[in-house]
Amino acid sequence: MAKVTVIGGGSWGIALAVLLHKNGHGITVWSALESEIEMLRTRHEHKMLPGVRLAEDICFTLDEREAVEGADLLVMAVASSYTRRTAARLCPYVVPGQRIVNVAKGIEEHTLMTQAQITEQEIPQAQVAVLSGPSHAEEVGRGIPTTIVVGARKRSTAEYIQNLFMNEVFRVYTSPDVLGIELGGSLKNVVALAAGIADGLGYGDNTKAALITRGITEIARLGTAMGGRFETFCGLTGIGDLIVTCASMHSRNRRAGILIGQGKTMDEAMEEVQMVVEGVYSAKAAMELAKKYDVQLPIIEQVNKILFEGKPADVAVKELMLRDRKIEVSDALWEEE
């Protein structure tokens, strides 16, 4: 049995706490929010996961020292915009070699750093890994079969985390491509906003399929330019995560996109969803990375214009459709005329 602390009391962190407890591990949940800890202590249920009960022996704390000291693994499950400040709070209590696995998805806007990069910068003494893939908290908490991937630089770290999480309903693969995993998980949220916008405009399955297909092309184009492996974007944290996020109503990014497509502003949509919409924070960062690595991201570019420049969504779709004619497979050979 391992001692695991989940950092963050949101729905994803709680779903993983339930999973890890069922696997026989000792679980502590830390949150910076007193109201969140009080809710979990008294109700033993998260309001966003109705019916998913938390065992009586799961501990809840507001104290960083209590949360970190002696933990075999820290699961960093705060929203991506809070990763840096949370890591800084934890750093004084993390011992050299202590393992941390990031499960949030997002790119920091002003630094263009991924979650693992932020954590490594703030807690350089830790061994940092990532866990990502098509995995809505609502389904993981209920024990619905799910497959995911853990990325780490060292095989031993990845396999240790794989063994802690894996069971008959939660299959975990391993990969050394930490950067590719994080880019796939972050950029798919921006494409999911586009898919939701198309739904809000009343478009159909053809449009959704086009956005998913061309969206993963954009993600892989940028990801490989940055050093990620192409195979990663064909896998669970690439096309797999993109499909589920574009298709499911569990997806906060898709739900926010639907509201924007129906005419609401970005701020109105985020307020109605009542959860952090990670794609909004990653959208600007994606365009900055596109400029830095000189790659074209037409879908993500139009999402930025809708979100931050007030461009009408239907006009953005029309411009995507009327772009210059292209060949789909650029290195394919034609027969001689």
For residues 19, 23, 25, 28, the Cα torsion angle rounded to the nearest 10 degrees is 10
The gap from C-alpha 230 to its chain's centroid, in whole angstroms, comes to: 19
Taking the C-alpha atoms of residue 82 and residue 67, their distance in angstroms, rounded to an integer, is 17
Sheet strands side by side (includes 170-175): 59-61, 26-30, 3-7, 73-76, 99-102, 127-132, 146-151, 170-175
Closest Cα to residue 74, out of 98, 106, 109? Answer: 98
- From the list 105, 188, 208, 284, the catalytic residue is 188
Pairing state between β 99-102 and 127-132: parallel
Q: From CA 47, how far away is CA 144, in angstroms rounded?
A: 19
Phi, psi torsion values for 142, nearest 5 degrees = -90, 0
Give the residue among 140, 127, 105, 173 at the shortest CA–CA distance from 16: 140
Closest C-alpha among 333, 182, 196, 318 to residue 251:
196
Using a 10 angstrom Cβ sphere, with 0-12 exposed, 13-18 middle and 19 or more buried, the burial of residue 1 is exposed
Rounded CA gap, 185 and 183, in Å? 5
Q: Which of 61, 157, 64 has the alpha carbon at shortest distance from 116?
A: 157
> For residue 75, what are the CA distances in angstroms to 39, 72, 131?
20, 10, 9
- Joined together, the tokens standing for residue 153 give 């630089």
Give the 3-state secondary structure of residue 62: coil
What is the CA angle 303-220-137, rounded to 5? 70
Decide: helix, strand or coil at residue 39. Answer: helix
Task: Tell me whether residue 188 is one of the annotated catalytic residues.
Answer: yes
Q: Which residues are catalytic?
A: 188
